[in-house]
Amino acid sequence: MLSSDSIRGYNDAMILTVLARGDSYGYQIAKQIAANSQDTYSMRETTLYSVLTRLVKDGLIEAYPGEISYGRPRTYYHVTASGHQYLADKKTEWQELKTVVDRFLMEE
| Residue 18 reports pLDDT greater than 90 | yes
Residue 36 CA to residue 30 CA, distance in Å, equals: 10
Q: What is the pLDDT of residue 8?
A: 82
CATH of the domain at 84: 1.10.10.10
Structural domain that includes position 18 = 4-105
Going by C-alpha positions, the residue among 22, 32, 8, 34 that lies closest to residue 77 is 22
Q: What is the pLDDT of residue 3?
A: 65
CB atoms within 10 A of CB 80: 17
- The number of distinct structural domains making up the chain is 1
What percent of the chain has pLDDT above 90?
A: 80
